Chain A
């Protein structure tokens, strides 16, 4: 197979109105065990629909257990969906098998959270970064070596890294190796799943800047999964908020931060802290009552109603609000949007 040269874009941002990835009613249920829990399922992702536009960074936020990582894995077909469709341009990935799926997979790659456990410690950096090329049948050649050193350089590593092992690198450099490995096949879509959470603050900034540079130089589209809302505000064009397997709000980043419509988004944003004692003292975090319900038995009606400060009964406990499109390119799933 022939290796295309790296796409270096003169103007970033392709057509923002065309979706690159479209997720339709995707559900992922994990059946758990026999015995005591026999027949139960964890509803990790439950009927989620949204689109990722060509050239954008869509931030996906939510707390642990909300299903955001599972959703990311289902989108790049690392895990099969229980139901629903994932379209990459016009191709439904869920229906693909064998060679056709493999070909599509090249277009979509994943950057993982932990650069310690996602890199095989016995492989050299050169082998790690060229492994995807091998998997996709790209023969050993001068092109190939060139391609590996090019992508390493683009990720801020020197060509001499090729002969060294992951443990010889710092956490930040290892994340660069992970990113090089994801990008060596020249994908168009990258799911970054908490790519910063194993890194120190000073190094996080380096990786954020790198991901942003790569996005514009290689014309990438990102799904950026994180729990860090300040990071999401920095990197995303739009933000999708998840709660207990459902999307509760999708909006342009500036709009979401200026005026959240879903009470859960409002609570999340209110809990963000700032490193300024005076400003922080004036912030009033909305303390949600209770704890995250089990995804095995999500609450009836709106899944957030058990913790919602503005829930009204009986409607919120009986009728599940749909994710409805609203004016200004945003969507929210709430019976009383903007009321908190």
Chain B
């Protein structure tokens, strides 16, 4: 496996040596709509190691959520996985989620891989007590006997730091706050001790002080249970608190990926660099003006020719509008899809020359 990974032609593989838990290879998920084919995910590759926390970041429409749904094979019609592989290594051989039987898929979902969404209200059944929903999540996978499942509910909710867990197991979703509902969702997601948790904007609907609690919880789960996490978010600072590796997406493609520290401190793609500079930061002096990115994200049905970011890029050269750049190594385990090297233009040097 390791040697195959090393010689694989995709540069996303080059630095990977350990057997991953999840390997996404050249994933393509297209939506066949009446106004054209929307290439929501267009050749995305990345690995997630056992126990690792990887952030997939980007703005709305970049394909980050569709990537997450593809991993669970939950892409709604008219979307379809049209190419690539999603290899899940459940001991030894990798199994391709994209080609798995429905039966195996049902086993996988919830037991090996679980997913939580930003809005727990829409993912919980409003007419069932939350404790029963957590128990059902376990019953569905038969990892635990019904009796074990019943006994695990309250400790699980407690582990998610839900206060007064035994009393609140008997309540309905609408009786709980957003933060408490997210804890119930996490309890359901983690009830079968999955190896991988996919969290799509898990804090987006929550207040800042509640976000802080959920972030702490996710960090503890990652550390204590060794659950690998794929965090899908638009929030680079959320990634900075949780993830060791980051995948940045733009218009259906990975434009940069690498170790979190390196990528966030010394971004090599102009899009990452611009995103980091666009939002006001409390760890920096207040700038006179924010460094806005001009224009708007492209229409995924008609992405720009060449580099998909070039119409909005301040550093573009002629080549950017005609040739699509490859995702190439720019540092240790660090890849970027850009013709113009960003070397020498650190985030601290505004508008530095290129």
Instruction: List residues of chain A with CB under 8 Å of any chain B CB.
Output: 63-64, 170-173, 200-206, 208-209, 212, 227, 229-231, 233-234, 257, 267-281, 285, 287-292
Contact = CB atoms under 8 A, between A and B. Distances in A.
A209 B281 contact: no
Nearest to A66: B207
12 contacts: A63-B207, A201-B278, A205-B278, A205-B292, A206-B292, A271-B208, A275-B264, A279-B283, A280-B237, A287-B209, A287-B212, A288-B209
A268 B293 contact: no
Given A268-B209, A278-B261, A287-B216, A201 B279 contact: yes
B290 interface: yes
Contacts of B15: none
List the 3 closest A-B pairs by CB distance, nearest first: A273-B237, A205-B292, A202-B293
Contacts of B322: none
Interface residues of B, number: 47
Contact of B280 (A63, A231, A270): A231
Contacts of B261: 277-278
> Chain A's interface: helix, strand, loop or mixed, by majority?
helix
A62 to B, nearest CB: 9
Given A202-B274, A271-B211, A277 B240 contact: yes
B209 A275 contact: no
Contacts of B180: 291
A202 B240 contact: no
Contacts of A274: 237, 240, 281-283
B60 A200 contact: yes
B238 interface: yes
A173 B295 CA distance: 10
A287 B289 CA distance: 32
A229 B282 contact: yes
B275 A202 contact: yes
B167 interface: no
Given A200-B60, A204-B278, A274-B283, A212 B212 contact: no
A277 B237 CA distance: 8
B213 interface: yes
A229 B282 CA distance: 9
B179 interface: yes
B25 interface: no
B262 to A, nearest CB: 9
Given A63-B207, A202-B297, A279-B283, 20 more contacts: A63-B208, A200-B297, A201-B278, A201-B279, A204-B279, A209-B289, A233-B286, A234-B290, A268-B208, A272-B282, A273-B215, A274-B237, A275-B236, A275-B237, A276-B264, A277-B261, A278-B261, A278-B265, A280-B237, A292-B177
Interface of B: 59-60, 163, 177, 179-180, 207-213, 215-216, 234-241, 260-261, 264-265, 274-276, 278-283, 286-287, 289-294, 296-297, 312
A291 B297 contact: no
Most buried by A among B59, B212, B261, B312: B212
A64 B264 CA distance: 30
Contacts of B60: 200
Contacts of B260: 277
Contact of B163 (A172, A270, A290): A290
B32 to A, nearest CB: 22
A292 B207 CA distance: 10
A269 B209 CA distance: 9
Contacts of B265: 276-278
Nearest to A206: B292
Given A234-B290, A273-B237, A276-B283, A227 B274 contact: no
A202 B278 contact: yes
Contacts of B211: 271
Nearest to A285: B212
Contact of B209 (A63, A170, A171, A172): A63
B177 A280 contact: no
Given A230-B279, A268-B209, A205 B240 contact: no
Contacts of A278: 261, 265
A201 B260 CA distance: 19
A274 B241 CA distance: 8
A271 B293 contact: no
Contacts of B283: 274, 276, 279
Given A64-B207, A276-B264, A203 B296 contact: yes
A291 B179 contact: yes
A100 to B, nearest CB: 39
Given A170-B296, A200-B297, A291-B180, A257 B282 contact: yes
B291 A205 contact: yes
B292 A267 contact: no
A67 B177 CA distance: 17
A269 B236 CA distance: 18
Contacts of B234: 200-201
Nearest to A253: B286
A292 B210 CA distance: 10
Contacts of B294: 206
B290 A273 contact: no
